[in-house]
Structure 1
Amino acid sequence: MENKSKSVELIEYSTLDFESQQQFDAFSQAAAPICDLKKPHSFNSGFRAKFSAFDLGGIDIIDWEVDPTNSERTNDQIKKTDLDNWAIWFVRSGCFYNEYNDRSVKAKTGDLMLVSHARPWKSRWEGQSFVSVGLDRDKFSWMAPSLDEANLSVLNGSLTGLLRTFISTLVDEAHKISEDQKQILSRSFSDLLAVSLDPTADNLRNATPALNASRLTIAREFIRKNLARPELNVDFICKSLGTSRRTLYSVFEEHGGVAKYIKTVRLQACYKALSDAADLRFVSTIAYQYGFTNMSLFSRQFKDQYGFSPKEAHDCRTADHVRLNTSSPTLLDHLCRSTSCIAPASDGANLTAPSLPEASTREYDEATMSKTTA
């Protein structure tokens, strides 16, 4: 998709720009409008903290990597600043603890915790990777009762996984977002958050584009990571991701169907390997690697796709037979095209991101597409 306007501004910050003895104090000063930081007991000389932030118009998204520390938002800070928004904390790795009065809540890897900055709190970060989504109180006043009710709680429900996928994709594709797309993405996130908190029929209808874009993101990633499995088909995907055939067919409609998408991705993976001069494997080995068990069928499908046989691609790997377009439409593509607005499945089934183990970022990424949601 070609963006005709400039990309959104990404604000970068890192304590590594300071001398090691100044790093904690520098980060404390940067965080001062929001909270007070307490120097961790394990602190010796350096303190690693960095973030990348961008604005979607009333929605501030910040991708953090921070050493473990404690923080506190006091009543004095609330009085001195006009920051009274809500924040969704998405824990990508580690743990996040929050306390208010006698209430203590823990968010582990993969969880989403909602926190109101209009109230005091104490928190402890034990991990390295978080995403915070700041919600302007004026922009989200229409769902204020639901947000206030969910304060200091871990969000759950069948649609929370799709909200998590949406946030992850926004962060991963931030450099692709144009100014023209901000309004669409802001509205899509708002609709998705609303249906996650209150899954009414109206909210489901409004959130359909965002829901289906997130479903497709999850399914495509699952397919990519399971190409080697011969049993990769509609039934296997539905069972693994806990969705219905109707829902899966719906989100892959614009790709010509699930089976066609799987075949295309497999053939692209084989072509890439066969044309790689550094890959010395046999044609049959590469075919089996990407889920083809019938060599005659593989050769026929490969030639139909590219106009020459797998052996020709393997023998003439230095030749540029065909220029592959291996890029897939992104979440941004689906949200910014009217064709993404397809009706939700009437059976109410949801293609949801799975429950997550306490794991490192890499383990979390691998687990995201391989387990079903509880």
Structure 2
Amino acid sequence: MSTLVFSTRALPARDQREAWCAWFDPVFGLDFSGEPLNSGFAAESIVWQAGGAAFSRVSAPRLRAVRKAVHIRRDPTDHWVIGLGVQTSRISLEGGRLVVPAGQPFILSLGEPSESEREADERLHLYLPRDRFASLAPELDRVRGRGIEGAPGRLLADYLRLLADAMPRLTEDERVRMPEAISAMVAACVAPTAARIADAAAQSDLTRLERVRQVIRRRLGSATLTPATLCREVGMSRSQLYRLLEGEGGVTHYIQRHRLRASYAALTDPRDDRPVAAIAEACGFHEPSTFSRTFRRAYGVSPSDARAAARAGSAPGPRLSPAMGAETRSLRACLQGL
């Protein structure tokens, strides 16, 4: 089982907290002190197993999670965890208290006691078993209990977000090959050397490419979306940007491809009743004739014909809807399977 989903959202509100506690027991204990006993706790955990590692995205209300000596005795898992939250995290460790700003990755070991307090948040967690990632042991143990700051921290945060975006679409074969790529990227961020940075170059490029893609999506309809704009917003030089997108056909082609894909998706969405010209402008094509010509060259039909074909019966592709197997009903079972 490589994709696991656990959600309390379909449960009665009175049962949600108990179900969420059961999912994390005995890896973590959850403390809801101060919260009304019958208040709901709508939360979801998605875990992807990837060739010996595990990656999770957790959306949950405010909580306090503890891993005390009693939890470690019951569950001696000592994986490293690289976390990233949208909100500030306050973590108490044996060596002191760690305050991690929003958007900064941090590294903990499940082999050590910890207490974490956070507001409602969406968090990413990368679980790295010691046996599978033994080559990283010295570096990860050196920085455990710390946040990763500066440029390495920003790069690692972007990489975790990239994994969250990519994991649902990866094939089983691609997931099996992930540990090598993860090792190279984590090593380059927590203990950067020239050799490790070179080993992680491909992963670094994927992370930078994701940043470029996010800027393009955010500013898709802007007439000022240019190579200069991208350089400024992603923080790289013109030569770096052109090298990064050389394999994608160049900067201008890459932007245009995203605009065409967005326009095609809108035109073939039966719920989108905007005029063709409005869709074109929203996707960055401000000249209708240019849009029509470019669209036909890419897809072999005019925008109007594409919309008509979709409305004549073309259905969207199936959505990924992973289900949790009956044999995996807790985070502990998932981590033990790594």
Normalization by structure 1: what TM-score?
0.72
Name the residue aligned to 1:347. Answer: none
Q: Aligned in 2, Cα 1:313/1:122: closer, same or farther, shift over 3 Å? A: closer
Equivalent residue of 2:184, what SS?
helix
Deviation at 1:115, TM superposition (A): 1.0
Deviates more, 1:227-236 or 1:70-79: 70-79
Alignment of 1:1-374 (within 5 A): 9-16=2-9, 20-45=13-38, 46-91=40-85, 93-101=86-94, 103-270=96-263, 279-281=273-275, 283=277, 286-293=279-286, 301-302=294-295, 304-305=297-298, 313-314=303-304, 317-319=307-309
> Where do 5+ consecutive residues of structure 1 fail to align?
1-7, 321-326, 328-374
Structure 1: distance between partners of 2:45 and 2:77: 19
Structure 2: distance between partners of 1:232 and 1:188: 32
Structure 2: distance between partners of 1:22 and 1:313: 50
Structure 2: distance between partners of 1:211 and 1:264: 22
Deviations 1:309-366 (A, max 9, x none): xxx644895257xxxxxx9xxxxxxxxxxxxxxxxxxxxxxxxxxxxxxxxxxxxxxx
Structure 2: distance between partners of 1:154 and 1:67: 23
Deviates more, 1:236-245 or 1:135-144: 135-144
State the one-letter code of the partner of 1:246: S
Are 1:98 and 1:122, in contact at CA under 8 Å, matched by a contact in 2? yes
Equivalent residue of 1:247, what SS?
helix
Deviations 1:205-242 (A, max 9, x none): 11122111222122122112212222211111001110
Deviations 1:25-70 (A, max 9, x none): 3433432332322233113213333312122233122221222222
State the one-letter code of the partner of 2:62: P
* Same amino acid, percent of matched pairs: 27
Equivalent residue of 2:88, what SS?
strand
Deviations 1:281-309 (A, max 9, x none): 473x554443345566556545554567x
Equivalent residue of 2:72, what SS?
helix
Structure 2: distance between partners of 1:147 and 1:119: 13
Equivalent residue of 1:230, what SS?
coil
Name the residue aligned to 2:323. Answer: none
Deviates more, 1:190-199 or 1:39-48: 39-48
Equivalent residue of 1:318, what SS?
helix
Equivalent residue of 1:144, what SS?
helix
Structure 1: distance between partners of 2:296 and 2:25: 62
Are 1:33 and 1:77, in contact at CA under 8 Å, matched by a contact in 2? yes
Normalization by structure 2: what TM-score?
0.79
Aligned length in residues:
312
Are 1:71 and 1:124, in contact at CA under 8 Å, matched by a contact in 2? yes
Structure 2: distance between partners of 1:37 and 1:291: 48
Equivalent residue of 2:78, what SS?
coil
Are 1:14 and 1:49, in contact at CA under 8 Å, matched by a contact in 2? yes
